[in-house]
Amino acid sequence: MLYMIYAQDNANSLPLRLQHRPAHLERLQQLQSEGRLILAGPLPSVDNIDPGEAGYSGSLIVAEFESLEAATEWADSDPFKHAGVYANIQVNPFRKTLP
């Protein structure tokens, strides 16, 4: 089943986000290589694809997992969470309708 992982960043977490981005991306690339990643990306803090120093307010990931528990465990193991980038993470089942 698909799950949506919505993470909100702590304030002023851009330096930590940049520092731990390679490890974060490595986990996403693993999901992609397994054919389980639907989409993933950061949420700019301002209305611009490149927010510069404004940074990001969080992240959105939609991926396939065996269960809600598995998706939650995966999200809780994210390097961004352990580094203090994420203030909180919400995991919900997701049903893709379109496209």
- Tens of pLDDT, residues 50-77: 999 999 999 999 999 999 999 999 999 9
**What's residue 1's pLDDT?**
98
Q: State the DSSP H helix or E strand holding residue 63, giving kind and residue range, or none if neither.
A: strand 56-64
Q: What is the CATH number of the domain that holds 70?
A: 3.30.70.1060
**What's residue 59's pLDDT?**
98
**What's residue 37's pLDDT?**
98
Preceding omega of 99 cis (within 30 degrees of 0): yes
Give the three-class secondary structure for 40: strand
In a domain, 99, yes or no: no
- 93: tokens are 């089942």
- Tens of pLDDT, residues 4-46: 999 999 999 999 999 999 999 999 999 999 999 999 999 999 9
**What's residue 46's pLDDT?**
97
Surface-to-core class of residue 31, CB atoms within 10 Å of its CB (0-12 exposed, 13-18 middle, 19+ buried)? middle
Counting the structural domains of the chain, the total is 1
In a domain, 38, yes or no: yes
